[in-house]
Amino acid sequence: MRVSKEFKVGLLVVLGLLLLFIGVNFLKGGGIFSKNREFYAIFDNSSGLQPSNEVQMNGVKVGQVLSVELKSDNANKVVVKFSIDSDEILIPDSSYIELISSDILGTKALDLNLFSGEIASGDLKYYEDQDTFKYSGTEISIEEQINQEILPLKKKTEELIGSVESIIVSVNAFWDTSAAYTIDESLYEVRDAIDKFGELANNLSVLISNETEQVDRILEDVHEITDNLSNKSDKISNVIDNISAISDTLADSDIKSVIVETKTTLTELNGVLADVNSGQGTIGKLLHTDSLHNELIQTNQSLQNLLDDFEANPNKFVHFSVFGRKVKGYQTTNEREDILDGVLDSLQGI
């Protein structure tokens, strides 16, 4: 079977186009026959991001940038379309996409940060193909970082140079004839002070030499005191042991219960005294009422009247008859006389 030249030329053209398509996709970093998931992200500035730049996650390439365009309804925003090669990467809807510099030369790339927080499994959602990321931002560029670090250092250097210049001007203004004269006078005063300090040191040395004997005696006395304390250590130990024994005895004794009982007794005594002061009870009534006192006075007065009547008219109370006449009035006996004597003695005691 013969193959025509036209068929061969056509086959070569198809193979060339196929190789060109494969090469272009290979250079772009995309798959040849696989369909990747595509997503969108919105930024304030592209910062030089170009199509075919990498999409990284933890430093590993997981996709590439497909297009960078201005947003149709807001030209102040940039819409970046990018793809993710692996279907196994599930992207939660709280993930963050950031525009970064991938190397020191400033090559731009997208950095994908998956959400790592704790969310209930039922509330966790994932981005689907053609979705737009809700959270995106731009990393601070190296130039801006350098400016943030260098500018404060530059300002401090300028302030330091200004301070050094002012110090130099002040020194030049101070270093004239009058200043030199002032410095010479200060040096003379310093020398005089050193001389006086030397004299003071000499006087101190003489004083120490004169008082050496007294210092020796003081040291000897201190040594004797320490010796006495050492000799009396046994007695001191006995005293400490006695104090410890006394404290143990006090600790073992039931002092707390005695104190509690004493307190209770004092409380009851205070209650009794309060009742007496308020006129309650027999003792309180005796202290706060005059009835007993008045009755004693009346009784005393009646007895006194009885004694006076008895002395004035004894026959009225006691009558003796020799001939057996009928006795009139009060008849007394020895027993009654003893009782009467006892009453009289009691009255005299009152």
Which pLDDT score is estimated for 79? 93
What are the tens digits of pLDDT across the range 202-251?
887 777 777 777 777 888 888 888 888 888 878 888 888 888 777 777 66
Which pLDDT score is estimated for 12? 83
Residue ending a domain, among 110, 139, 168, is: 139
Q: What is the mean pLDDT of residues 304-323?
A: 69
* Residue 86: inside a domain: yes
61 versus 292: the higher-pLDDT residue is: 61
Contact (CB, 8 A) for 136 and 96:
yes
Residue 82 confidence (pLDDT) above 80: yes
* Residue 65: inside a domain: yes
What are the tens digits of pLDDT across the range 27-53?
655 555 556 789 999 999 888 889 989
The Cα–Cα gap between 69 and 288 comes to 114
* Residue 221: inside a domain: no
Helices (H) and strands (E) in the chain, counts: 9, 7
C-alpha to C-alpha distances, 138 to 39, 87, 100, 185, nearest whole angstrom = 17, 26, 6, 68
Residue ending a domain, among 79, 109, 139, is: 139
**What 3-state class would DSSP assign to 44?**
coil
Query: Which of 70, 49, 71, 66 shows the shortest CA–CA distance to 141?
Result: 49
* Residue 240: inside a domain: no
* Residue 202: inside a domain: no
The Cα–Cα gap between 97 and 83 comes to 12
Question: By residue range, what is the domain housing residue 93?
Answer: 25-139
* Residue 187: inside a domain: no
Number of structural domains (the chain) is: 2
Contact (CB, 8 A) for 97 and 133:
yes
The Cα–Cα gap between 30 and 62 comes to 10
151 versus 329: the higher-pLDDT residue is: 151
Region label for 315, one of left (φ > 0), alpha (ψ between -120 and 50) or beta (otherwise)? alpha
Residue ending a domain, among 104, 139, 174, is: 139
* Residue 13: inside a domain: no
Which pLDDT score is estimated for 68? 92
* Residue 106: inside a domain: yes
Which pLDDT score is estimated for 80? 93
